[in-house]
Protein backbone atom coordinates (compact mmCIF):
# COMPACT_ATOMS: atom_id res chain seq x y z
CA UNK A 1 0.00 0.00 0.00
CA UNK A 2 1.50 3.30 -0.98
CA UNK A 3 1.50 6.28 1.35
CA UNK A 4 -0.99 8.84 0.02
CA UNK A 5 -0.26 11.43 2.70
CA UNK A 6 2.64 13.85 2.80
CA UNK A 7 2.80 13.70 6.60
CA UNK A 8 0.70 12.64 9.58
CA UNK A 9 -0.36 15.64 11.65
CA UNK A 10 -1.78 13.76 14.65
CA UNK A 11 -0.97 10.13 15.35
CA UNK A 12 -3.46 7.48 16.42
CA UNK A 13 -1.80 7.42 19.84
CA UNK A 14 -2.19 11.20 20.21
CA UNK A 15 -5.88 10.97 19.29
CA UNK A 16 -6.36 8.21 21.89
CA UNK A 17 -4.66 10.38 24.55
CA UNK A 18 -6.79 13.40 23.63
CA UNK A 19 -10.00 11.35 23.76
CA UNK A 20 -9.02 9.89 27.14
CA UNK A 21 -8.32 13.35 28.56
CA UNK A 22 -11.51 14.88 27.11
CA UNK A 23 -13.64 11.91 28.16
CA UNK A 24 -12.40 12.18 31.74
CA UNK A 25 -13.00 15.95 31.82
CA UNK A 26 -16.49 15.66 30.31
CA UNK A 27 -17.36 12.90 32.81
CA UNK A 28 -16.29 15.13 35.70
CA UNK A 29 -17.98 18.27 34.36
CA UNK A 30 -21.31 16.58 33.59
CA UNK A 31 -21.70 14.27 36.59
CA UNK A 32 -25.31 14.61 37.75
CA UNK A 33 -26.32 16.45 34.58
CA UNK A 34 -27.89 15.38 31.31
CA UNK A 35 -25.27 14.84 28.62
CA UNK A 36 -26.16 14.76 24.93
CA UNK A 37 -23.30 14.14 22.50
CA UNK A 38 -24.08 15.26 18.94
CA UNK A 39 -21.84 14.14 16.08
CA UNK A 40 -21.67 15.50 12.57
CA UNK A 41 -22.19 12.86 9.88
CA UNK A 42 -20.28 11.36 8.32
CA UNK A 43 -16.74 12.46 9.06
CA UNK A 44 -17.18 13.15 12.76
CA UNK A 45 -18.54 9.73 13.71
CA UNK A 46 -15.20 7.91 14.17
CA UNK A 47 -13.84 10.61 16.51
CA UNK A 48 -17.13 10.74 18.41
CA UNK A 49 -17.03 6.98 18.98
CA UNK A 50 -13.46 7.17 20.27
CA UNK A 51 -14.47 10.01 22.59
CA UNK A 52 -17.61 8.43 24.07
CA UNK A 53 -15.70 5.22 24.87
CA UNK A 54 -13.89 7.36 27.45
CA UNK A 55 -16.98 8.97 29.01
CA UNK A 56 -18.00 7.14 32.18
CA UNK A 57 -21.42 8.73 32.84
CA UNK A 58 -24.78 8.06 31.14
CA UNK A 59 -25.25 9.92 27.88
CA UNK A 60 -27.49 10.24 24.87
CA UNK A 61 -26.05 10.10 21.37
CA UNK A 62 -27.45 11.88 18.32
CA UNK A 63 -26.21 12.84 14.88
CA UNK A 64 -26.70 15.73 12.49
CA UNK A 65 -26.23 15.55 8.76
CA UNK A 66 -24.94 18.76 7.26
CA UNK A 67 -24.09 19.86 3.77
CA UNK A 68 -22.80 22.95 2.09
CA UNK A 69 -24.16 24.48 -1.05
CA UNK A 70 -21.52 26.26 -3.04
CA UNK A 71 -22.71 29.40 -4.77
CA UNK A 72 -26.23 29.12 -3.35
Q: What is the pLDDT of residues 16-42, one digit of tens each?
A: 999 999 999 999 999 999 999 999 888
Helix axes 12-29, 45-52, angle to 10 degrees: 60
pTM for this entry: 0.78
The mean pLDDT of 44-49, rounded to a whole number, is 90
* pLDDT recorded at residue 41: 86
Amino acid sequence: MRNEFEKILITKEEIEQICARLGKQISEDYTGKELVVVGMLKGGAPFMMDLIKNITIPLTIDFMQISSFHGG
